[in-house]
Amino acid sequence: MALTQKLLIRQSQALVMTPQLMQAIKLLQLSNLDLVAYVDGELERNPLLERTGEDEPRMGDAEPPEREAPDASVSGEWTGDEMETVRNGVEERLDPGGLENVFPDELPPGPARTATEPAANYSEWAGVGTGGREDGDYNLEAFVSAETTLGEHLAEQLTLAIADPVRRMIGRYLIDMIDETGYLIGDLADVADKLGIPPAEVEAVLAVIHGFDPSGIGARGLVECIAIQLKERNRYDPAMQAMVEHLELLARRDFTTLKKICGVGDEDLLEMIAEIRALNPKPGLAFGSALVQPIVPDVYVRSGPDGGWIVELNTDTLPKVLVNQSYYAEVSHTVRKDTDKSYFANCLQTATWLVRALDQRAKTILKVSTEIVRQQDGFFAKGVRHLRPLNLKTVADAISMHESTVSRVTANKYMATNRGIFELKYFFTSSIAASDGGEAHSAEAVRDRIRQLIDAERPASILSDDTIVEKLREVGIDIARRTVAKYREAMRIPSSVQRRREKQAAAAGATT
C-alpha cells in the first residue's frame, strides 16, 4: 500500500482546559483566607482591578477617578446590564459558559483562538501553573517542612484511633477545645448539648484522647494531667493517688501530713515526689505554637420562622472587587504600542473573569450548602446521631453538578450551625443497605444500634457477632458479620468471650 499525503477535513470534539476554567477551578477549592490572599495578589498585579469603595489614586491620575455610573464597572453582584457593559471589545475572548460546572475531566470546549487575535493576550498564561504567574525566584525555605502543631498531631492520632465518623467528629470538636498547653477548656456538658448526644459519649471520646501522645493531653486540670501520665507509667497506686489528690500539700511542702495521708515513710515519699517532678505539667508546649487563626464560617444556617432552615453566605468572607472600565477606556485612547494595548486588553479579560469566577464561586457554595442542609435536616433538628448516609453523588445529582465540583466546594469550607461550626465534608457519611430493600441506614446509626445491643446484654447471655447480625436483620439492617466485628473493634468493644469474663467477674464482685 502506497503512502501518500492528503488534505482532509475532519470534525472532532476535544476537552480544552482554558486559563479561565483553570482559574475558576482554583478559586472554587480555596478557603476564605486563601481566597483573600489570592485576590490581594491579583489586585497588586492588575491595574484594572480595585476593591469596592476604594478611592486610592490610579497610575497616571492626578486625582482619584470619580465613579460616574454603576454601569461603568463590574461589581460582585452580577446583573444582566453590567454583563452587557463588560462585553465591549473583549466578549469574543470570553467563554460564556464553563463556570457553572467546573471540573477537570468533563470540561466544556473553550473558545477557539482566531488567527487575528494577538498572541500577547495569552502570554501571561503561558507555562503558568496554579500560582497564577511564573516567579523565577528560588526560595529555599519553600522546601523546609513546617513545624507540626499540637492540633495537627492530635488530629493524625484521632484518624487512626477512631473510625466511627460521629465519634471522630466529637473528637475533632474536643481537640479544637485544647489550648496550647495541652489542657481542655470548656464544659463537656455544653459539648453534649450542642451536638445532641449523651454526656457519656463525649466522656468516652475524651478518654480516647487521653491516651494520645503527648502523655497527659486533654486533661481538665493539673490533677488529671498528672494522673494520666502516672497511669501510663503504671504508677498510679493508692498511695500515689492520695498524693496527686493533695498536690496543694506538696506545694506547701507539708510532708508530715502527706506521709499520714499516703501511708508511706520518708524514703517512699521522696521517691514519689521525684516521680511527680519528672512529669510534664504542660504537655502541649512540646509542639510548635502556630499563629491561631480562628475558623471563619463560609455559610450560616439558622432556623426559620416556618420551622425550616435558612442558609446564608457569610458576606464578610467574599472579596468585593470590580473592574475599572472608565480607567481602561481612558488608557486605551492614549497608548500607542501594540504590546501596551495587548497588555491592557489582557488585564481587562483577566479582571472580568476573576469577578465572574468569584460570583459563580459564591453561588456554587450556597447551592451545595443548601442541599446539604436539606439532606441532613435530622442532624440540625435532633443531633449528630441523626446524620443520614450521604455521598458526593447524591448532592451532585440533586443540584445538577459534577461530583468533583461538589468535592472542591466542600473542601476547606465551614458551616456555622446551631450545633457548632463544622466542615462541609463532615456531613458526608457512608451507608448500610436495608434488608427489606427500603431506605439505607447511616453507618453511624448502625454503630449506635450495635453499642445499644451490647450495653443491654446480660452476663448470662452475651451476644456474639453472629447473634448481633441476626438482631440487626430483624430490624431491617443488612450487614455482614465481619462488618459488625470491624465496627465493634473501632468502638473499642472487646469480643464476646472477653465481655463474658468481665461481666461475670463484675457480677460476682457485686454479690460479694
431-441 pLDDT, tens digit each: 565 555 555 66
Paired strand residues for 219: 183
Mean pLDDT check: name the lowest of 112-126, 133-147, 282-296: 112-126
In this model, does residue 102 exceed pLDDT 60? no
State how far the Cα of 478 lies from the Cα of 173, in Å rounded to an integer: 31
Q: Count H helices, E strands: the chain?
A: 21, 9
Give whole-number Cα distances, 14 to 98, 119, 128, 317, in Å: 14, 22, 21, 36
What pLDDT shows up at residue 76?
36
**For 102-115, what is the mean pLDDT?**
37
DSSP reduced 3-state for 183: strand
In this model, does residue 58 exceed pLDDT 70? no
In this model, does residue 299 exceed pLDDT 90? yes
Phi–psi pair at 57, nearest 5 degrees? -65, 145
**For 166-194, what is the mean pLDDT?**
88
Is residue 430 very low, low, confident or very high in pLDDT (cuts 50, 70, 90)? low
What pLDDT shows up at residue 323?
87
What are the structural domain ranges in the chain? 150-286, 432-511
State how far the Cα of 428 lies from the Cα of 40, in Å rounded to an integer: 33
State how far the Cα of 28 lies from the Cα of 413, in Å rounded to an integer: 10
Whether the Cβ atoms of residue 247 and residue 279 lie closer than 8 Å to each other: no
Q: What share of the chain is helix, strand, coil (3-state, %, to 5)?
A: 50, 10, 40
Phi–psi pair at 81, nearest 5 degrees? -65, -40
**For 288-306, what is the mean pLDDT?**
78
What pLDDT shows up at residue 426?
82
What's 432-511's CATH class? mainly alpha
CB atoms within 10 A of CB 216: 26
What pLDDT shows up at residue 69?
36
- Beta strands 414-417; 299-303: pairing state: parallel
- 220-242 per-residue burial string, b: 16 or more CB within 10 A, e: under 16: eeeebbbbbbbbeeeebeebbeb
DSSP reduced 3-state for 98: coil
Tell me which of 49 and 136 has the higher pLDDT: 49
Please name which of 13, 441, 492 lies closest in space to residue 210, comparing C-alpha atoms.
492
What pLDDT shows up at residue 10?
85
Q: What is the pLDDT of residues 135-158, one digit of tens each?
A: 444 455 454 455 678 888 888 899
In this model, does residue 68 exceed pLDDT 90? no
In this model, does residue 295 exceed pLDDT 90? no
Q: Between 199-209 and 188-195, two packed helices, what is the crossing angle to 10 degrees? A: 120
3-state SS, one letter per residue, for 447-506: HHHHHHHHHHCECCECCCHHHHHHHHHHCCECCCHHHHHHHHHHCCCCCHHHHHHHHHHH
What pLDDT shows up at residue 363?
92
**For 269-290, what is the mean pLDDT?**
82
DSSP reduced 3-state for 300: strand
Is residue 301 very low, low, confident or very high in pLDDT (cuts 50, 70, 90)? very high
**Look-up of cell digits 477548656:** 185
Q: Rounded mean pLDDT of the chain?
A: 76
**For 240-266, what is the mean pLDDT?**
86
**For 367-377, what is the mean pLDDT?**
91
Is residue 442 very low, low, confident or very high in pLDDT (cuts 50, 70, 90)? low
Is residue 370 very low, low, confident or very high in pLDDT (cuts 50, 70, 90)? very high
State how far the Cα of 507 lies from the Cα of 501, in Å rounded to an integer: 10
**Look-up of cell digits 459539648:** 191
Whether the Cβ atoms of residue 503 and residue 459 lie closer than 8 Å to each other: yes
Tell me which of 58 and 508 has the higher pLDDT: 508
Q: Please give the grid coordinates belonging to residue 389.
A: 448516609
Is residue 187 very low, low, confident or very high in pLDDT (cuts 50, 70, 90)? confident
Phi–psi pair at 288, nearest 5 degrees? -65, 140
Mean pLDDT check: name the lowest of 183-187, 245-249, 334-338, 360-364: 334-338
Please name which of 205, 207, 208 lies closest in space to residue 191, comparing C-alpha atoms.
205
State how far the Cα of 379 lies from the Cα of 64, in Å rounded to an integer: 52
Q: Please give the grid coordinates belonging to residue 159.
A: 484518624
State how far the Cα of 130 lies from the Cα of 104, in Å rounded to an integer: 13
Give, as one character, the DSSP assignment of residue 110.
P
| Helix or strand run (H / E) with residue 321 | strand 321-324
**For 78-99, what is the mean pLDDT?**
39
What pLDDT shows up at residue 432?
61
Mean pLDDT check: name the lowest of 117-126, 222-231, 244-253: 117-126
What pLDDT shows up at residue 435?
55
Whether the Cβ atoms of residue 216 and residue 228 lie closer than 8 Å to each other: yes
Give whole-number Cα distances, 422 to 157, 183, 282, 301, 404, in Å: 19, 22, 28, 11, 20
Tell me which of 494 and 102 has the higher pLDDT: 494
Whether the Cβ atoms of residue 459 and residue 510 lie closer than 8 Å to each other: no
DSSP reduced 3-state for 281: coil
Is residue 262 very low, low, confident or very high in pLDDT (cuts 50, 70, 90)? confident
In this model, does residue 471 exceed pLDDT 70? yes
Please name which of 273, 266, 216 lies closest in space to residue 247, comparing C-alpha atoms.
273
In this model, does residue 109 exceed pLDDT 70? no
Give whole-number Cα distances, 334 to 59, 278, 331, in Å: 13, 76, 5
In this model, does residue 84 exceed pLDDT 50? no
How many residues does the structure list for the chain? 512
Q: Please give the grid coordinates belonging to residue 20.
A: 479561565
**CA 394 to mean position of chain CA atoms:** 19
Phi–psi pair at 87, nearest 5 degrees? -70, -15
Whether the Cβ atoms of residue 160 and residue 213 lie closer than 8 Å to each other: no
Q: What is the pLDDT of residues 491-507, one digit of tens each?
A: 888 888 888 877 777 77
**CA 80 to mean position of chain CA atoms:** 35
Q: What is the pLDDT of residues 390-424, one digit of tens each?
A: 888 889 999 998 888 888 888 889 999 888 888 88
Tell me which of 210 and 335 has the higher pLDDT: 210
